[in-house]
A and B are shown apart, each in its own frame.
Chain A
Amino acid sequence: MAALSVALFFLGVFLYSVYRTLWYGIGEWGLNKTVGWAWDITNFVWWVGIGHAGTLISAVLLLFRQKWRSSINRAAEAMTIFAVICAAMFPVLHMGRPWLAYWVFPLQNTFGSLWVNFNSPLLWDVFAISTYFTVSLVFWYTGLVPDFATIRDRAKGPIAKVAYSLLSMGWTGSAKHWSRYETVSLILAGVSTPLVLSVHTIVSMDFATSVVPGWHTTIFPPYFVAGAIFSGFAMVLTLMLITRVVFKLEDYITMEHIALMNKIMMITGSIVGVAYITEFFIAWYSQVEFEQYAFINRATGPYWWAYWSMMTCNVITPQLVWIRKVRYSIPLTFVLSIIVNIGMWFERFVIIVTSLHRDYLPSSWVMFSPTIIDIGIYVGTMGLFFTLFLLFAKFFPVINMAEVKTVLKYTVDNGPTYTGHDPHHDLIHKPTTHGVPANAPVNYNKHD
C-alpha cells in the first residue's frame, strides 16, 4: 500500500508535467537550438532498453530451453510492456501535439496523397516500437490465460469469478489446447527473438544514420542491443528482488536465479565496456578530427562527470560480479542493479547530449540543462511504471504457474530441491502412488 501510494504520487508528478508540456508547449523543456532532443530521447532509449530483457528472458531463453527462466519470465514480460508504455510517452510528447500522433502512420490524408518518409529511421522506430509493443502484449497475455483459468477456478467472490472468467477466455486446459498453445509460444518466441534485436538496432539507427560526430558509428546496433540487455537485466533484478521479498517467493526465485541473472548482467556489461573502448579507438584510428574531438570532449569536456559516471557504473562495478560472494548476495545485487540502471541512463545521456552540444560549428556550441518539467516527466514515468507493475503484482499471477509446475515435477524426479521444514511449505513432495496397483507400469524417470 505504501509502495502504491509513492508510485501514485509520482504518477501525479507525471500527469502534472505532461499537463504543463501540453498546455505551454515543448518550451517547458530545457531544449535549445542546438540540443534539440535531450532528456526525452535519453529516457525513451533507456526505457526501451529496459523493456528488452523481458523479451529476452521469455523468448531467447525459451528457445534455448533454459528451464530456470520460468519463475522470472512472467514479471519480466510485464516489465517489458510497462517499460515500452513509458518509453512511448517521450516521442509522443515530443511531438508537442500528441493528438495528431496518428500522422506518423501511413494514412491517406486530406492534403493529397503525401505519405510518411520510409527512408527515415524515426519512422522505422514507429513500426518497430508498435510491432514490439503489440507482439509483447499478445505474447504476455497468451501466457497468462492458463494461469487466469487457475485463479478463476479458485476464486471465491462472484466478481473475481466473472473477471477471471473473462480474462481466461474460457481456458479449460484440454490437451489439444495445450498442444496448440505450445506451438504458438514457440513460434512467438522464435519471431520475438529477431524482433527484439531489430527494435534496438533501429533505435540505434536514429543516431547512427546521421552525420553528427559521436553518433555516426557502425558499432551502434550491437552496442545498443548489448546495453539494452544489460540495463534490462538490471531492472529485472531490481524488481525480482523486491517481489521475492514482498511475496515470499524464495522457493521460486532462488539464489541460483539471481546468480545467473547477475552473470548475464556482467557479460553484457563487459560487452558494453568493450564497445566504449572500441568507439574511442575507432575515433582515433579514423583520423577524423571532429570524431576525435567528440570523444575527447566526452571524457574531458563540460560533461566529463556524466561520462565518468557512465564508465564507473557500467564498466567497473559490474566486474564485482566475478566475486562469488557478490553474485550470491541479495543486498549487493540490489545495489548493483540500481547502479547499472543509473549508469545506463548516463550512457544514453552521454551519447545524445555530449554529441549534440558541440558539433561542427563552434558558434552553435551550447550547454544543456534540464528544467523541472524535464525531471518531472522522467521521474513521473517511474511512477507510471511502478503503478502499473504494482497493480499487475496485485491482480495477476507474478509467476508463470503452469510452467513452474512442469519444472517442479522435473526437480522431484531429480531429487528434491526444497529443504525447508515448514510443513505448509512442503510444495514439492514425491508424487503419491495411492490407488496405483503395485505392478502398474510406472516410470518416474520418463522425462526428456
Chain B
Amino acid sequence: MTKRFALGIFDDEDVLMHAIENVRAAGVKIYEVFTPFPIHGIDDALGIERSRLPIAAFFYGMCGLAFALWMQIYMLGFDWPMIIGGKPHIALPAFIPVSFELTVFFTCHGMVITFYTISKLYPRWRTPVLDVRSTDDKFVMAIEINESTDLNNLSKLLRENGASEVNEKEMTKN
C-alpha cells in the first residue's frame, strides 16, 4: 500500500517540540516523528502512551524465578534426591544464585524480544526511510496526505512553526 507524506524538516529539537504542539493544536494528525536521538518529553507532546514494557519485564522476571525454583526443587528434591555436603534435598539458600540469574535472564530476554516484536524491528535487506537525514542531525515530522489535504496550508503551517523545508514523499508500506 502506497502512502503519501508531507515531511517537515527541522534543524533543532526545541523548534520541533513547539511545532508538534502547534501542529496538533491546529488539528493536523502527525503520522510519525523521526529523530536522530531520543528527545525528552516528546512522547507527551505527541501523545504517545507510556510503554507497558516494564510490566511485561516484571512478569517475565517472575516466570524466570518460578521456573528456576521449580527446576531446582523438582530435580534435586524429587526426581533424583541426593544428599550433597550434608545439605537437605531442598537447600533453598543454595538455590538463590541460580534463581536470581534465571530471573534476570528471563526479564532481559523476554523484554528485549517483546521490544523488537512490537516495534516490528527485524533484519531486512533494505530499510525504507522517509528522509535519510533523520538518522543524522535532522528532525522529520511526517504527516500523511490524501486528495482532500490542502497542501499549501499544510506547508505554510509547517514553515510557520520552524520547518526549514517541507517535502513530499511517497512510500510503500510493507
- Contact pick for A138, options B32, B79, B109, B122, CB 8 Å: B109
A409 to B61, CA, bound (A): 37
Question: Is there an interface contact between A179 and B57, defined as CB atoms closer than 8 Å?
Answer: no
Question: Is there an interface contact between B127 and A154, defined as CB atoms closer than 8 Å?
Answer: no
A231 located at the interface, meaning its Cβ lies under 8 Å from any Cβ of chain B in the complex: no
CB closest chain-B residue, reference A182: B38
Question: Is there an interface contact between A106 and B71, defined as CB atoms closer than 8 Å?
Answer: yes
CB closest chain-A residue, reference B142: A174
CB closest chain-B residue, reference A115: B75
CB closest chain-B residue, reference A121: B97
In the complex, chain B residues 131-146 whose Cβ is within 8 Å of any chain A Cβ: 132-137
Q: Is the interface of A mostly helix, strand, loop or mixed?
A: helix
Question: Is there an interface contact between B97 and A175, defined as CB atoms closer than 8 Å?
Answer: no
A203 to B48, CA, bound (A): 43
A394 located at the interface, meaning its Cβ lies under 8 Å from any Cβ of chain B in the complex: no
- State how many angstroms separate the Cβ of B60 from the closest Cβ of chain A: 10
In the complex, chain B residues 11-36 whose Cβ is within 8 Å of any chain A Cβ: 11-15, 17-18, 32-36
B101 located at the interface, meaning its Cβ lies under 8 Å from any Cβ of chain A in the complex: yes
B160 located at the interface, meaning its Cβ lies under 8 Å from any Cβ of chain A in the complex: yes
- Contact pick for B105, options A115, A135, A188, CB 8 Å: A135
- State how many angstroms separate the Cβ of B127 from the closest Cβ of chain A: 5
Contacts of A99 in B (CB 8 A): none
Contact size range, B = 35 or more
Contacts of A130 in B (CB 8 A): 105
For A140-158 the 0/1 string (1 means CB < 8 A from B) is 0010011001101110000
> Which stretch (A71-79, A163-171, A264-272, A343-351) binds chain B?
A163-171
For B31-51 the 0/1 string (1 means CB < 8 A from A) is 011111111101100101001
A176 located at the interface, meaning its Cβ lies under 8 Å from any Cβ of chain B in the complex: yes
- State how many angstroms separate the Cβ of A180 from the closest Cβ of chain B: 5
A392 located at the interface, meaning its Cβ lies under 8 Å from any Cβ of chain B in the complex: no
Known contacts A165-B124, A437-B160, A118 near B11 by CB under 8 Å:
no
Question: Is there an interface contact between A173 and B15, defined as CB atoms closer than 8 Å?
Answer: no
Question: Is there an interface contact between A131 and B48, defined as CB atoms closer than 8 Å?
Answer: no
Question: Is there an interface contact between B35 and A173, defined as CB atoms closer than 8 Å?
Answer: yes
A433 to B57, CA, bound (A): 42
Interface, chain A (partner B; CB < 8 A)? 106, 112-121, 123-124, 127-128, 130-131, 134-135, 138-139, 142, 145-146, 149-150, 152-154, 161-162, 165-184, 187-188, 191-192, 194-195, 198, 202, 205, 402-403, 405-406, 409, 431-437, 440-444, 446-448
Known contacts A175-B48, A183-B54, A442-B15; 4 further A-B pairs (Cβ under 8 A): A166-B124, A170-B123, A182-B38, A402-B38
